[in-house]
Amino acid sequence: MKKAGYVVLILILLAFLAKACIHADIPETTSKPEINNSSVENINYPAPQKNVTIDGIDYLQSQAPVGKFGGTLVASTIGEGPKTFNPFNSKDNISSQLSEIMYDGLLTTNAVTGEPIPKLAKDFTVDGDTYLIHLRKGIKWSDGKPITADDVVFTWQNIVFDGFGNTSIRDSIVIDGKLPTVRKIDDYTVEFKTPQPFAPFIRMLSNPIAPKHVFEPAVKKGKAYFDTFLSTNANPKTFVTSGAFRLKEYVPAQRVVFERNPNYYIINTKDEKLPYLDKLVYLIVGDINNEVLKFEGGELDVIGLQGANVARFKELEKHSDFKIYNLGPNTGTMFISFNLNNRKDKDGKFYVDIKKQRWFQDKNFRQAVDYAIDRKNMVMNIANGLGAPLYTAESLNSIFLNENLPAYERNIEKSKELLKKSGYNWSKKGHLLDKYGNHVEFDLYTNAGNTEREAIGVMVKQDLEDLGMKVNFKPIEFNSLVNKLVNSLDWDMVIMGLTGSPLEPNGGKNVWMSNGTLHMFNQRPADYTQDDRYPWEKRIDYLYTQGALATDFESRKKFYDEYQAIAYEEKPFVYIYSPLIISAIRTKFRNVYPTSLGGIMYNIEEIYLDNGQKGKGS
């Protein structure tokens, strides 16, 4: 890796390491359990994995203690389960998570340091706008066919660049209307070139690689066919994968079962092929309460805990068979969003009722809602004090966080002053009226089954009723909610969350760029061409573009600081709070090295079941 082309990475890593020991302030509360915030930092992590060539095959060798083969680890997912098993079609977190189990990328992120490291690639170099990738020789897909440069070029050129499936990755790497190029140099060498130096591209190379011999026929049949390819109805026997596990069974609304990939290219120090586990199972548990019950009943081996459950689990931990880890602030964001859309559909009907347009497009109204939200109360009562209020578009542990944006207390009087500036007043019964005499009433949505968001919705409803607003809180099924947000555009306000990276803001490009596929607060129909952006949207478009093109950390941060300042002022999203990530896993599993970046199962190929015990469902 050439130093001249990688100054930005070094600076990013230094900044990340400087912030890695910072934990969110936890308000004092009598019900707060004592959790050792340094529990993750005190873990003795094994040496990094290294390249080893045996009989002409370039393996990646784990340096973790050698474990025992066999057994099953049972995890879970809330909601209705995956929507697809095609990694290029995924638009939801669980589908992406399960796809990543089956398909590896050229690179990945070191879960301890945050630096990009090789995965399917043996090594790589970066020189300005040129990325040279050397693939591992001799490694194979799960069906025994070799993984070569043809698979890499096909994936990027014929799937990503040609716009098949979810175009979020493609959209995030367009530079001045141009895409990078990719070419095969030989069977195990690939060259990418970006139109100009583009700092985020190195992390884009973690995008999964597809087996050309399996995906090419689907691509040739067109985008409509590709959208259904490897759906949840597909036969698991047809899946060809590169990850540690491959799909064995999917039972809708019940479970997803993976089995070990016998051709995986990561080995232990005895040169035995990993993973250790025979199976990895995800139970589809519906909601968080059911997930907790299943963990308590021994049906699950790992769980992410919400603040309300941590105190009891911390007490149970003393006499139980699991260990709790505090992984630090959540890397995503949770927020309320307003529908700022003022467009008409093809029949000439407004997507959003015109009186609601006037409310939501009024910055004073949005700021009034913001000041009415009691974030600290939510942290205490929903997260049980295990978190901190959030006011910014970047997460609390982001190395790009604009720390000059001050926090503030709930202030109903300030909310009322802002509303009065825009002509709002109150009826004798205390109902909020706009300047045309309309009662302020709207729907507030979130995804049903997520008890944390449902609890937030109840408290938001109560907070806004203090302003005389009538809020109809409506938790609905996740797919229906997504359809409202990005297709029908038929919604008023919503409580949502987005995953994020504390290392790279460009992952949010599809949310913040005005033409982004998740620009939910002002979503444009796919065929919409008129430039009707708000002035601050135009500025954010510029800042996001320039932030990706800047080649050193400090220059990049100036652009991302300004975008956060605009979001802080304009309030298309009202951020709520950032919970701590608290996870528990059974102590019978070894080689568990949790990190704030990777979570608790990022090294699933190294995790093994102790003493030869058989896990659930094996």
Task: Please state the rounded mean pLDDT for residues 227-251.
Answer: 96
Give which of 605, 449, 596 is closest to 111, Cα–Cα. 596
Tell me the residue length of the chain: 618
Q: Output the CA–CA distances (angstroms, integers) from residue 137 to 51, 57, 105, 121, 205, in the order listed.
A: 11, 5, 15, 9, 18
Give which of 436, 588, 576 is closest to 493, Cα–Cα. 576
In contact, 141 and 263? CB cutoff 8 Å: yes
In contact, 537 and 546? CB cutoff 8 Å: no
The better pLDDT of the pair 112, 132 is held by 132
The better pLDDT of the pair 4, 300 is held by 300
In contact, 171 and 510? CB cutoff 8 Å: yes
Query: pLDDT value at position 128?
Result: 92
pLDDT in tens, 128-178: 999 999 999 999 999 999 999 999 999 999 999 999 998 888 988 888 889
Tokens of 299: 């049906």
In contact, 311 and 292? CB cutoff 8 Å: no
Q: How far apart are CA 131 and CA 318, in angstroms?
A: 50
pLDDT in tens, 323-361: 999 998 888 899 999 999 988 888 888 888 999 999 999
CA dihedral 350, 354, 359, 361 (to 10 degrees): 50
Three-state SS letters, 374-417:
CHHHHHHHCCCCCEEECCCCCCCCCCCCCCCCCCCCCCHHHHHH
Tokens of 386: 């295990």
Q: Would you call 598 helix, strand, or coil by DSSP?
A: coil
Backbone angles phi, psi at 609, to 5 degrees: -90, 125
Other C-beta atoms closer than 10 Å to the C-beta of 614 total 11
Return the amino acid letter for 36.
N
Q: Output the CA–CA distances (angstroms, integers) from residue 439 to 355, 361, 442, 574, in the order listed.
A: 10, 17, 10, 22
In contact, 488 and 494? CB cutoff 8 Å: no
Hunting for tokens 């708000």 — which residue is that? 534
Return the amino acid letter for 190.
V
Q: Would you call 213 helix, strand, or coil by DSSP?
A: helix
The better pLDDT of the pair 364, 173 is held by 364
Percent of the chain residues past pLDDT 70, beyond the cut: 92
Query: pLDDT value at position 441?
Result: 97
Query: pLDDT value at position 171?
Result: 86
Domains contained in the chain, CATH given: 31-301+588-612 (3.40.190.10), 333-579 (3.10.105.10)
Instruction: Give the angle 430-496-355 at the CA atoms, nearest 5°.
Output: 40
Confidence of residue 612 (pLDDT cuts 50, 70, 90): low
429 pLDDT above the threshold of 60: yes
Q: How far apart are CA 54 and CA 48, in angstroms?
A: 19
Tokens of 545: 């573009």
In contact, 458 and 446? CB cutoff 8 Å: no
Q: How far apart are CA 506 and CA 517, in angstroms?
A: 14
Residues 6 or more apart whose Cβ sits within 8 Å of residue 38: none
Q: How far apart are CA 273 and CA 263, in angstroms?
A: 8
Query: pLDDT value at position 187?
Result: 98
User: What is the average pLDDT score of the chain?
Assistant: 90
In contact, 152 and 134? CB cutoff 8 Å: no
Residues 6 or more apart whose Cβ sits within 8 Å of residue 590: 65, 67, 607, 608, 609, 610
Q: Would you call 475 helix, strand, or coil by DSSP?
A: strand
Backbone angles phi, psi at 175, to 5 degrees: -125, 110
Three-state SS letters, 420-444:
HHCCCEECCCCCEECCCCCECEEEE
Q: How far apart are CA 176 and CA 458, in angstroms?
A: 44
- Strand 57-61 and strand 266-267: the pairing is parallel
Query: pLDDT value at position 39?
Result: 55
- Strand 573-575 and strand 470-476: the pairing is unpaired
Angle, helices 7-19/553-570, rounded to nearest 10 degrees: 60
Q: How far apart are CA 362 and CA 353, in angstroms?
A: 14
Tokens of 227: 């959208």
Percent of the chain residues past pLDDT 90, beyond the cut: 74
Q: Output the CA–CA distances (angstroms, integers) from residue 609 to 40, 479, 488, 589, 598, in the order listed.
A: 20, 36, 47, 5, 20
